[in-house]
Amino acid sequence: MLLEIKNLFFSHRSDQRLFQNFNLKVEESKIIALAGESGCGKSTLLNLIYGLLDWQQGEIIFDGLPVLGPDHNLVPGEENMKLVAQNYDLMPYATVAENVGKFISNIDLEEKKQRVQELLKVVGLEEYEYILPKYLSGGQMQRVAIARALSVMPKLLLLDEPFSNIDFSRKIELRERLFKYVQEKNISLIISTHEIQEVMPWLDQIIVLHEGRLIQNDNAEETYKNPYNQYVASLFGEVNIFSDEEKSAFNLSKNFWYPHEIKIADTGKEAVVVESRFAGSYYWTKVSVNNKQLIIYTPEKAEGSVQLSFKD
């Protein structure tokens, strides 16, 4: 087991208990997402794992050894682990290449140069090696920080909202390069994100947090198809929630239905279209069924009375 958290208790102050009896196991060579709304504890958990915060009770074991917080370490942080937080912490008067190569040995300068070039390619910044950070956008600085963290080949890489400042067109390319790279190098990755659906194809595991509690810990498919509750389901986007009474009245198999799972059919539940708006590859359509409004995705603009079929 690469990382194990046992009975963790952490509080910022006496009246706020963010983590209580928190337990978690992370295996080697896994890509894991921390999911949850803002303030649920994602960034705090990453800081605890990396040893930037002291906790009150419990243990964090990394690679067989206990993680110790700043009260026990003159320089906080763990060997063989890297954290890329949202402040980037780049050297302002060093070039992009110098920042990326900060932790790489100078014994073989040619090998170091090749390694830096390799990492710049991973994050798509090959043309920026001689640029100073002050001339970069926030998203570009974020990518430099990721490349620098990868330079030491950590066993565990922690990324806190790594794509938050990156343009959508760049995200697609960066995600694929980054996830393929850590898989090839057998680097375990824990990533906190608000964009869970955008990283799902690469995930081995999703850990859902809510107010410091672990709500669900499953593979991506299980989490998406069988969310523990409404909170988990809503992290994947829009979702239609049915109470147990409504589930029975509609004769449904589950309480949570994503918009694409409800389709207009030849037969089914009578519904009236409230509005239908173009949303790119589909129409965002709101319908009313027995005074309950639902969101569905339709291939064409819908109007009038329709029949709904529920298929998961």
Element (H, E) at 159: strand 156-160
Query: Is the pLDDT score of 45 beyond 60?
Result: yes
- Average pLDDT over every residue of 17-33: 90
Q: What is the pLDDT of residues 123-141, one digit of tens each?
A: 999 999 999 999 999 889 9
Q: What is the pLDDT of residue 170?
A: 80
Range(s) within the chain of domains with CATH label 2.40.50.140: 240-310
Q: What is the pLDDT of residue 14?
A: 55
Q: What is the pLDDT of residue 198?
A: 85
The more confidently predicted of residues 71 and 151 is: 151
- Average pLDDT over every residue of 207-224: 94
Query: Is the pLDDT score of 23 beyond 80?
Result: yes
Q: Residue type at 171?
A: K
Q: What is the pLDDT of residue 36?
A: 93
* DSSP string computed for 69-136: -TTT-SS-S-TTEEEE-TT----TTS-HHHHHTTTS-SSSHHHHHHHHHHHHHHTT-GGGTT--GGGS
- In angstroms, the CA 17 to CA 57 distance is 12
Query: Is the pLDDT score of 181 beyond 90?
Result: yes
Q: What is the pLDDT of residues 267-289, one digit of tens each?
A: 999 999 999 999 999 999 999 99
- In angstroms, the CA 301 to CA 147 distance is 45
- Average pLDDT over every residue of 38-52: 92
- Average pLDDT over every residue of 52-76: 88
User: How far apart, in Å, do the first and last CA atoms of the chain sit?
Assistant: 35
CATH number of 240-310: 2.40.50.140
Q: What is the pLDDT of residue 166?
A: 78
Angle at 16 between CA 11 and CA 21, to 5 degrees: 55
Query: Is the pLDDT score of 15 beyond 70?
Result: no
Architecture of the structural domain at 3-234: 3-Layer(aba) Sandwich (3.40)
- Do 286 and 293 touch, CB atoms closer than 8 A? yes
Q: What is the pLDDT of residue 17?
A: 67
| pLDDT classification of 311: cutoffs 50, 70, 90 | confident
Beta-carbon contacts of residue 124 (< 8 Å; ≥ 6 apart): 143, 170, 173, 174, 177
Q: What is the pLDDT of residue 13?
A: 66
β-bridge mates for residue 218, sequence order = 206
β-bridge mates for residue 275, sequence order = 286
- Beta pairing class for 240-241 and 256-257: antiparallel
- Do 41 and 19 touch, CB atoms closer than 8 A? yes
The more confidently predicted of residues 87 and 41 is: 41
Beta-carbon contacts of residue 55 (< 8 Å; ≥ 6 apart): 8, 9, 10, 19, 48, 69
- Average pLDDT over every residue of 190-194: 92
Range(s) within the chain of domains with CATH label 3.40.50.300: 3-234
Query: Is the pLDDT score of 231 beyond 80?
Result: yes
Q: Residue type at 200?
A: M
- In angstroms, the CA 84 to CA 49 distance is 12
**Confidence (pTM):** 0.91
